[in-house]
Structure formats: C-alpha cells, structure tokens
Amino acid sequence: MRKVLIQSLLAFTALLFMGSAYATIDSYEFDNAAQEQQFFELTNELRCPKCQNQTIGDSNAPIAQDLRREVHRMVVDGTDNDTVIDFMLARYGDFVLYKPRWTGVNLVLWLGPVFLLLIGLIVVLMVARKHKTSVVNTQDAMPEEALTEEQEKALERRLQQFQSDEESGNPSSGEKEA
C-alpha cells in the first residue's frame, strides 16, 4: 500500500514538471549542453508576438517557429543572451519579454504591486487601530450602562416566565422528545 502511494506521488510530481516540456516538435542540434540550456532558457523567456499568451518555445505558430530558428542560429553562433534579447526587442518591442526590463514605464509593472500592497497594509493597520480603540471604549462604557436593580429583577422574571413556558407549552416538540 505504502509503495503504491509513493509511486503515485512520484508520478504526480512528474506530471507537475510536464508544463516545461515542449509542445512543439522540431529538432535542433547544439554543439554542447550549455547551448541547449541557453536555447531552452531563451525560448521560455521570449513571448510569441502572434499568440500572446505563449512563449516562442511553447507555440506552434509559424512566427514562433521562425523565431525559434533565429534563436537557435544565434545560440549556435555563440551569441550571448543579452544580444539575442536585444535582437528581439529591436523588432517586436518590450512585448516579447515575459520578464519586463527594469526601465521606464516598466517600473510601474515591477513596483505597482509593491505599492498596492503597502497601501493595503496601511489600510489594515488603520482599521485595526480604530477597532482596538473602539473596543477599549465599550469596556470603559460598561459600568455606566450596567442594569439597575429593578431592571435586573424584571429581566429575571422574564427569563423564568420564558423557561416555564417552554416546559409546559409547545406540546409538539415535547412529544417528539418523549
């Protein structure tokens, strides 16, 4: 039983890593493993201009095939990553990068979430603070609003009445209980 469990767990983990497997089937030859690694990195980082939610490594669109071919050509030529990325940027603009550059208007993308998170934190802190002070206030106010003796007696009477009503009255529920 345990063995089966472990096996299925392993199979499941393997499935998790399938996302990075390549959907497309073209064969490229590389001089060494480093080049192959570089090619995979680049094609997983560059976005296909036509099918805008896929990387060029992932997409079957003709333009993605062409771009893979270009990347392969440059990688085999010994081009470094930055040059390949600049090549793509010059032709398709910032859009091709899944990881936006740390410049200009892209800073909004990078810093926007941090900014929003900060605003959220400040709001939460302010609300928490307000809540705390209001709790303290009600505790302070308690003695002042305590019931008078007369009111307490009236309350007790009501409660007793309510209890006796429940014991004697409401026959249907009583039957069910019996």
Partner 1 sequence: MNRRLKLFLPLAIFLSLCLMFYIALFRDNKGELPSALLDSPLPSFSLTTVKNPARTVTRDDLLGEVALLNVWATWCPACRVEHPYLVDLANKGVPIYGVNYKDDQPEARKWLKVLHDPYRFSINDQDGSLGINLGVYGAPETYLIDHQGMIRYKHVGIVDANVWKNDIEPKYRALVEQAQQSNSGENSSEADPS
Restricting to residues 42-71, name those near partner 1 by CB under 8 A.
Answer: 49-50, 52, 62-63, 66-67, 70
Residue 86 sits in the site that holds partner 1 (CB under 8 A):
no
Give the contacts of 13 (CB within 8 A, at least 6 positions apart).
Answer: none
Angle at 143 between CA 146 and CA 159, to 5 degrees: 25
- Which among 109, 51, 56, 65 has a CA at the least distance from the CA of 85? 56
Please report whether residue 131 would count as binding partner 1 according to CB under 8 A: no
DSSP single-letter state for residue 55: B
Window contacting partner 1 (CB under 8 A); options: 90-98, 103-111, 124-132, 138-146? 90-98
Q: Contacting partner 1 (CB under 8 A), which of 28, 35, 41, 89?
A: 89
* Per CB under 8 A, 97 contacts partner 1: no
Q: How far apart are CA 87 and CA 166, in angstroms?
A: 84
Residue 95 or 98 with smaller CB distance to partner 1 = 95
DSSP letter, residue 97: B
State in angstroms the smallest separation of the CB of 46 from partner 1: 12
Q: Residue 99 or 157: which CB sits closer to partner 1?
A: 99
Long-range contacts of 101-104 (CB under 8 A, 24+ apart): none
The residues that touch partner 1, with contacts defined as CB under 8 A, are 49-50, 52, 62-63, 66-67, 70, 89-93, 95
